[in-house]
Amino acid sequence: MEKRVLVPVADGTEEMEAVVVVDLLRRAGIPVVVAGESPVVVCSRGLRILPDELLEELPEDEEFAAIVLPGGSRGTEALSRNEHLKHLLQAQQRRNGYIAAICAAPTILARHQLIPPDTPLTSHPSVAPQLSAYPYRVEPVVVADRIVTSRGAGTAIAFALELVRILRGDTAAAEVAQSIVLP
């Protein structure tokens, strides 16, 4: 069975950053599980998401193709405090699996020391000071080994397509971009 991509969500998650990633990965045929801290997650702009599974019920030994963290300041803070997610991320890092974070979510990786010291990254400008220990970039998407970071809602499509490219290749990413009429 193909490994799934985990997209955890919590109240306050930025909906575009979660939904765009889930949508484009699924268009590429990549299995995605949206795991919520609760059965109904209220995102930053009031959109309600019904997660596929509860985050706490995911087995800690499940191997994911990638764990993708959406941003949103309140959602990021909630996910950052979630010990089960911390253990999932640590296991993903030990397996040398992909970890991706957009907007404020790279701070979760920094907080839990999941980013090697010389790893370049990006984030939403508002949290850049919290990431001053790392080589900071302003590109829309930064890929450094198995860590993928992006800036925010406006870069969500580029971020998701880069994840498709990494997991399924250039052709799949081009096909998804064409299917959504991306210029």
Distance CA 150, CA 139 (A): 8
Beta-carbon contacts of residue 156 (< 8 Å; ≥ 6 apart): 16, 17, 20, 21, 102, 150
- H or E element in which residue 56 lies: none
Which residues does residue 100 pair with via DSSP β-bridges, in sequence order?
Answer: 68, 148
Distance CA 101, CA 106 (A): 5
Neighbours of 17 (CB within 10 A): 33
User: Identity (one letter) of the amino acid at 76?
Assistant: T
From the number of C-beta atoms within 10 Å of its C-beta (0-12, 13-18, 19+), residue 96 rates as: exposed
Active site residue 43: no
CA 64 to chain centre: 12
The active-site residue out of 25, 100, 103, 121 is: 103
Active site residues: 103
